Amino acid sequence: KSLTSKEPECLRKEGGWDVYDIMYLDQTAREHGLYIKKRPDIPVAEREYSEYQIPGRDGKLYEDLKTVEDIEINIDFNFMSTEKDWSGVFRAAKRWLLGAKGKLILGDDQDFFYRVKKVSFSDGERTSLRIGNFTVTFICEGYAYLQDGTREYEIGNVQYNPYETCKPIYFIRGEGVCTLTINRKAMTANVGQNLTINTDLMLAYREDGSLMNTAVSGDYEDLYLYPGENEISITDGFELKVIPNWRCY
């Protein structure tokens, strides 16, 4: 599968990239003259708990908060340039990697991506007049997201969730008041032609970006899709599409 329409064909071969690479903000390291020194280790996200110590009771009590900690993916880069261009290549790398937050795709796991929350750089090590090394730390959400989970689907295609609990985006078209029901829990929405309910951002808005939080009544958490079968329905006369945002550890 092609990652994006911007992916350079010269980096492709049957079954994957011709060398190990990453893609970030729709650009590969090779496009910037950078090379990955080794495949990064991928940490496992730790579940988050609240701890309680009760006098007279052995050990602690742990409350599962049903969230996970961030993970850090460290990637070692190197590059070769002319003597005069060394600093320019390093600056270009910083402009790319320290830009807006985006998706990180690893070359040997192209069906998934990580949501990057922060990027930090090590110092640039100049091992010779032409060669440079540096390490980038991508601080990401603890989940890997499925590329196919960012597409719009009909209800019947998202009722079964083979992954972890996910936070979908619902697109409703119609006119008037409707009820969106997920696993017997409901959110009421006053729809004027179109309404987007984003359970990850906990926002409701129209296609033009106008906020419509006052148009919905209910809890965004009730609209999550859980592992296994889910019941999804909407009032007759309204059209519903779903971006599931499937994810796993």
pLDDT for the residue 100: 79
Cβ–Cβ under 8 Å, residues 110 and 12: no
DSSP code for 153? B
Proportion of the chain above pLDDT 90, given as a percent: 74
Calpha distance 124→94 (Å, rounded): 10
Spatial CA neighbour of 74 closest among 147, 140, 3: 140
Higher pLDDT: 147 or 125? It is 147
Which pLDDT value is given to residue 9?
37
Nearest CA to 77 among 101, 97, 95? 97
Report d(CA 240, CA 173) in Å as an integer.
7
Helix (H, G, I), strand (E, B) or coil at 15: coil
Type of residue at 139: I
Average pLDDT over residues 224-242: 97
Q: State yes or no: pLDDT of 107 exceeds 80.
A: yes
pLDDT of residue 18: 64
Q: Could you tell me the end-to-end alpha-carbon distance of the chain, in angstroms, rounded to an integer?
A: 22
Helical (H) or strand (E) element with 95: helix 86-97
Write down the pLDDT at residue 56.
Answer: 83
What does the DSSP assignment read for 49-68?
Answer: EEEE--TTSSS-EEEEEEEE
pLDDT of the residue at 77? 95
How many angstroms separate the CA atoms of 219 and 236, rounded? 21
CB contact set of 102 (below 8 Å; sequence gap of 6+): 24, 25, 26, 116
**pLDDT for 216-227, tens place per residue?**
999 999 999 999
The reported pLDDT for the residue numbered 99 is 78
pLDDT classification of 15: cutoffs 50, 70, 90: very low
Reply yes or no on whether the pLDDT at 5 is more than 80.
Answer: no
Mean pLDDT across the stretch 6-20? Answer: 50
pLDDT in tens, 148-158: 999 999 999 99
How would residue 17 be classed by pLDDT, with cut points 50, 70 and 90?
Answer: low
What pLDDT digit, counting tens, does each position of 18-47 carry?
678 999 999 999 999 999 999 999 999 988
Bridge partners (DSSP) of residue 211 are 205
The pLDDT-based confidence of 1 (bands split at 50, 70, 90) is very low
- Residue 64's Cβ-count burial label (10 Å; 0-12, 13-18, 19+) is exposed
CB 120 within 8 A of CB 136: yes
Which pTM does this prediction carry? Answer: 0.86
Distance of alpha carbon 135 from the chain centroid = 22
Other CB atoms within 10 A of residue 201 CB: 12
